[in-house]
């Protein structure tokens, strides 16, 4: 008894046709018929009634069908187990992350995963959040760390990694440096330093300003949060930064919490709603969710 004979028998039984069954398993009909005949000869019983226009099961065939299905399912499970192990031994995972990502936990999570699965090759790609999400939907990335201001796009699931308020950072000599907070509307006529369009932080800023009826006057688009902070320290504008960056004393900024409204920006782990397809990608996704959940 061969697995292919069981596969052909199940296909013909479920399709009620040798022609359709053969097309389903991508084998010529005479070959399928011959293999099922051999199976019947080995069992010493007829499994299929070929006398009518449609192929039907005999009583023996009805009894045999669930066991044939179970055997094929068992083999598929065994193959899956081997594939899972092989995928964690020599798999590949494509990970995207925003250019300004400075979360040390990400490096720690990747390092720990590499220690557990040294054979998995991990590629990193940096870009803005909007392009990372497109690459994720197109299957070019398995996972991505992206900045979000609102809900993720359709077909994408996320788990928040960092959720922070946005602050305004100014040089200590700036007239705005007298206070600890600043209403959003007071920034409408200020030259701003922000991350580019397409980042989660910029989306949060633009959406908040639009809700207040103005467009932010961005004088400098910086590729990183540290560059934005450096430009603000030199008096070139008001930097829009996450709280953890704006309040970092080493950067030399005066931090102002943005109020009325408060603005938040999130860093999230994102994946396709139908899930990463490779065993290595699924394993890294689960590992990252455990290691980096807020």
Instruction: Give the pLDDT confidence score for residue 230 in this predicted structure.
Output: 94
Q: What does the domain layout of the chain look like in residue ranges?
A: 3-89, 96-160+267-292, 163-266
For 163-266, CATH number? Answer: 3.40.190.290
What class has domain 96-160+267-292? Answer: alpha beta
The fold of the 3-89 domain, in CATH, is: Arc Repressor Mutant, subunit A (1.10.10)
Instruction: Give the pLDDT confidence score for residue 12 in this predicted structure.
Output: 92
Whether 96-160+267-292 and 163-266 share one fold: the answer is yes
Kindly state the helix (H) or strand (E) to which residue 173 belongs, with its residue range.
none
pLDDT of 212 above 70: yes
Task: Please give the mean pLDDT across all residues of the chain.
Answer: 86
Most confident by average pLDDT, 75-84, 96-105, 147-156: 147-156
Cα-based angle 282, 3, 10 (whole degrees, multiple of 5):
90
The pLDDT tens digits for 217-274 are 999 999 888 999 999 999 999 999 999 899 999 999 999 999 999 999 888 888 888 8
pLDDT of 89 above 70: no
Alpha-carbon distance values, 218 to 184, 186, 194, 268 (Å): 14, 14, 7, 25
What is the percent of the chain where pLDDT is above 90?
A: 46
Let me know how long the chain is. 294
Instruction: Give the pLDDT confidence score for residue 177 in this predicted structure.
Output: 92
Identify any residues that bridge with 264 across adjacent strands, giving them in sequence order.
Answer: 165
Task: Record the pTM.
Answer: 0.59
């Amino acid at each position: 008894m061969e697995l292919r004979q069981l596969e052909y028998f199940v296909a013909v039984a479920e399709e009620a046709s040798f022609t359709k069954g053969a097309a389903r398993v991508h084998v010529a009909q005479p070959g399928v018929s011959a293999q099922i005949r051999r199976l019947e000869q080995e069992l010493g019983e007829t499994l299929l009634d070929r006398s009518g226009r449609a192929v039907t099961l005999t009583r023996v065939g009805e009894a045999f069908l669930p066991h044939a299905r179970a055997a094929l399912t068992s083999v598929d499970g065994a193959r899956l187990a081997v594939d899972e192990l092989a995928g964690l031994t020599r798999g590949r995972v494509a990970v995207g992350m925003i250019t300004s990502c400075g979360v040390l936990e990400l490096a720690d999570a990747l390092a720990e995963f590499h220690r557990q699965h040294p054979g998995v090759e991990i590629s990193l790609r940096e870009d803005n959040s909007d392009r990372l999400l497109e690459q994720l939907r197109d299957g070019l990335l398995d996972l991505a760390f992206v900045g979000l201001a609102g809900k993720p796009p359709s077909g994408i699931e996320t788990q928040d990694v960092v959720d922070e308020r946005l602050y305004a950072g100014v040089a200590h000599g700036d007239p705005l440096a007298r206070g600890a907070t600043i209403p959003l509307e007071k920034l409408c006529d200020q030259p701003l330093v922000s991350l580019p369009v397409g980042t989660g932080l910029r989306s949060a800023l633009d959406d908040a300003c639009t809700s207040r009826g103005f467009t932010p006057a961005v004088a400098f688009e910086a590729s990183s949060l540290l560059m934005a902070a450096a430009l603000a320290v030199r008096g070139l504008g008001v930097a829009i930064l996450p709280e953890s960056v704006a309040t970092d004393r080493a950067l030399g900024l005066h931090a102002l919490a943005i109020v009325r409204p408060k603005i938040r920006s999130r860093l999230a782990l994102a994946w396709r709603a139908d899930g990463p397809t490779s065993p290595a990608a699924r394993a890294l996704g689960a590992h990252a969710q455990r290691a980096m959940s807020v």
